[in-house]
């Protein structure tokens, strides 16, 4: 075996993989060529082996930026094409957990895994994507996180975000309450991005009466094997926010622009996913984000000073969500059939995204009246991105009000759905539902005035 291996970057490799790397003097960062019988030669940068990777598999980064894993057998040939330039004082691979610094920060942060791209890693032996959000795996992959907090983790769900349900919000809220009572300084919920805004709003309402620390929801638009992955950046920004932010609110922390410069902390009831794939897909709607977060310096720049302060309140959870709530988007030619169907199917509440000020067609108004007479609230949001519902401007809106429609000012649809689900789990009395829905609880509504705010980064 050539004696004791001095280079710590090879720690953990065993068998043929370790033998062949030593034989050719190859270390992480080197450009190597791998040849297996019956397959073309593959060249790439040898990557460090993290503690939990398959020990007989070498991971290399291809010229296109993607990582692949190759299982090493006795027949495999390895050749070094170019040695890496090692800078003095720069570590090549994360230290094993047993070798972490002793003077870690005092702040403790819990990462709760629910699934999604950010909670997955590539199994380079099979090519499959596996759920993976153990604290030691995070630290191995993103060692700079230990500069900001002591990290712990637990996984409560392993689902794609499109499979999220209100009952899962209840499970998350219970886990968060238990974690707060155990003394964490901040909590991160790793979540798929497609329904992340709904979950953020739901948790904001569940904890609106009492939250002593920040709850951060974050995700990744691009998987960890892609050169443009945003997973590490978003996690670092989330840990900084969870451990150091002065506010105690439910927020979404994601890229603030396409480069790796700053993240934005968006209030959970004001955020929407605005793009299917851009790193800065999440934007605050009709409101300023709470803060900019600079992962490379650990700085938090407050943008919106209207927030609940850290440590001012004890935790108070009002859990429970009604799953019999639906959303309808108004479209040309829509009649009341969909509303009638939901009434007949026993739904307890309906959100309608109306046009402009919140209007629906004449054919749908009778069905709204029928829902109201059946004690089923029909709340109205707007399909426009910015602005607010106003059913007093045109006669169509006034007809809707007479039929029992409940306008929700500048509340976005995601927050309206989560809030209606939360309210209906407390009361089914139509007057009480209407009153609570139109009362701001968690920053979801600027009642009675229009900020007319179009953030510059939305147009970037």
pLDDT for res 128: 45
Q: Lowest-confidence range among 58-62, 273-277, 341-345, 452-456?
A: 452-456
Q: What CA–CA distance (Å, rounded) separates 449 from 44? A: 58
Helix (H) or strand (E) holding 266: strand 263-267
What is the rounded CA–CA span in Å between residue 5 and residue 142? 25
25-to-19, 20, 54, 58, 79 alpha-carbon distances in Å: 10, 8, 21, 15, 9
Q: For the chain, which residues make up each domain, given as ranges? A: 8-82, 97-302, 325-437
Q: Which CATH number fits domain 8-82: 2.60.120.10, 2.30.30.520, 3.40.50.880, 2.130.10.10?
A: 2.30.30.520
User: Who wins on pLDDT, 79 or 59?
Assistant: 79
> The CATH number of 325-437 is which of 3.90.1530.30, 3.40.50.40, 1.10.8.10, 3.40.50.970?
3.40.50.40
State how far the Cα of 175 lies from the Cα of 163, in Å rounded to an integer.
Answer: 19
Q: Determine phi and psi for 182, rounding to 5 degrees.
A: -90, -5
**Taking the mean position of all CA atoms in its chain, how far away is CA 117?**
9
pLDDT at 158: 83
Question: What is the rounded distance in angstroms from the CA atom of residue 149 to the CA atom of residue 243?
Answer: 6
Q: Is the pLDDT of residue 240 over 90?
A: yes
How do residues 34-46 score in pLDDT, each as one tens digit?
A: 999 888 999 988 8
**220: pLDDT confidence band, cut at 50, 70 and 90?**
confident
Could you say which architecture CATH assigns to the domain 97-302? 3-Layer(aba) Sandwich (3.40)
* Lowest-confidence segment of 12-21, 239-248, 297-306, 376-385 by average pLDDT: 12-21
| pLDDT bracket for residue 5 (50, 70, 90) | very low
Task: Answer whether residue 50 shows pLDDT above 70.
Answer: no
Bridge partners, residue 60, by sequence = 46, 68
**Residue 3 CB neighbours (<10 A):** 6
pLDDT tens-digit series, residues 167-178: 999 999 999 999
- Residues of the chain above pLDDT 90, percent: 61
Supply φ then ψ for residue 267, to 5 degrees. -60, 135
Report which of 197, 121, 205, 181 is spatially closest to residue 155, judged by C-alpha positions: 121
Query: CA torsion angle for 123, 129, 135, 139 (degrees, to 10)?
Result: 60
Q: 119-128, 202-211, 373-382: which range is least confident on average?
A: 119-128
User: What are the tens digits of pLDDT across the range 18-28?
Assistant: 788 888 888 87
Phi-psi region of 320 (alpha: psi -120 to 50; beta: other; left: phi over 0): left
Q: What angle do CA 300, 301, 304 make, to 5 degrees?
A: 120
- The answer to whether the 8-82 and 325-437 domains have the same CATH topology is no
- 61 burial type by CB count under 10 A (0-12 exposed, 13-18 middle, 19+ buried): middle
- Say how many CA atoms lie within 13 Å of 178 toward its Cβ: 9
Written as six digits, the tokens of 184 are 């964490």
Q: What is the pLDDT of residue 131?
A: 54
Residue 414 has pLDDT above 50, yes or no: yes
CB 77 within 8 A of CB 122: no
List residues with catalytic annotation.
117, 193-194, 273
DSSP 436-451: HHTS-SSS---TT---
Give the pTM: 0.79
| DSSP conformational letter for 320 | -
pLDDT above 70 for 133: no
């Amino acid at each position: 075996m050539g004696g004791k291996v001095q280079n710590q970057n090879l720690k953990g490799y065993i068998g043929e993989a370790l033998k062949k790397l030593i034989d050719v003097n190859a270390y992480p960062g080197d450009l190597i060529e791998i040849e297996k019988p019956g397959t073309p030669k593959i060249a790439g940068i040898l990557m460090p082996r993290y503690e939990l990777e398959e020990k007989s598999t070498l991971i290399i980064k291809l010229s296109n930026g993607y990582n692949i894993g190759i299982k090493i057998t006795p027949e495999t040939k390895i050749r070094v094409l170019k040695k890496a330039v090692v800078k003095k004082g720069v570590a090549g691979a994360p230290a094993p957990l047993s070798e972490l610094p002793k003077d870690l920060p005092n702040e403790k942060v819990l990462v709760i895994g629910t699934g999604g791209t950010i909670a997955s890693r590539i199994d380079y032996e099979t090519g499959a994507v596996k759920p993976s959000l153990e604290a030691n795996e995070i630290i191995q992959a993103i060692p700079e996180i230990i500069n900001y907090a002591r990290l712990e983790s637990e996984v409560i769900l392993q689902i794609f975000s499109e499979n999220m349900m209100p009952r899962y919000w209840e499970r998350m809220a219970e886990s968060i309450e238990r974690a707060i009572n155990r003394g964490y300084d901040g909590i991160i919920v790793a979540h798929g991005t497609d329904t992340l805004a709904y979950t953020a709003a739901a948790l904001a309402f569940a904890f609106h009466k009492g939250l002593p620390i920040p709850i951060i929801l974050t995700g990744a638009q691009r998987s960890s094997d892609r050169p443009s992955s945003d997973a590490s950046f978003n996690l670092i920004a989330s840990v900084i926010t969870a451990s150091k932010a002065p506010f105690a609110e439910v927020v979404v922390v994601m890229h603030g622009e396409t480069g790796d410069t700053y993240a934005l902390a968006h209030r959970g009831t004001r955020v929407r996913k605005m793009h299917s794939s851009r790193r800065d897909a999440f934007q605050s709607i009709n409101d300023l984000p709470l803060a900019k977060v600079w992962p490379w310096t650990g700085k938090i720049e407050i943008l919106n000073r209207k927030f609940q302060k850290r440590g001012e309140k004890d935790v108070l959870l009002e859990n429970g969500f009604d799953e019999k709530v639906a959303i309808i988007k108004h479209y040309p030619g829509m009649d009341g059939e969909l509303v009638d169907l939901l009434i007949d199917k026993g739904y307890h509440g309906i959100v309608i995204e109306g046009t402009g000020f919140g209007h629906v067609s004449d054919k749908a108004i009778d069905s709204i009246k029928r829902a109201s007479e059946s004690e089923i609230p029909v709340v109205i949001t707007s399909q426009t991105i910015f602005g607010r519902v106003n059913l007093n401007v045109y006669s169509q809106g006034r007809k809707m009000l007479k039929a029992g429609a409940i306008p929700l000012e500048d509340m976005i649809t995601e927050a309206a759905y989560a809030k209606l689900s939360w309210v209906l789990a407390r009361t089914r009395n139509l007057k009480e539902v209407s009153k609570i829905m139109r009362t701001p609880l968690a920053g979801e509504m600027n009642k009675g005035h229009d900020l007319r705010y179009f953030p510059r980064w939305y147009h970037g």
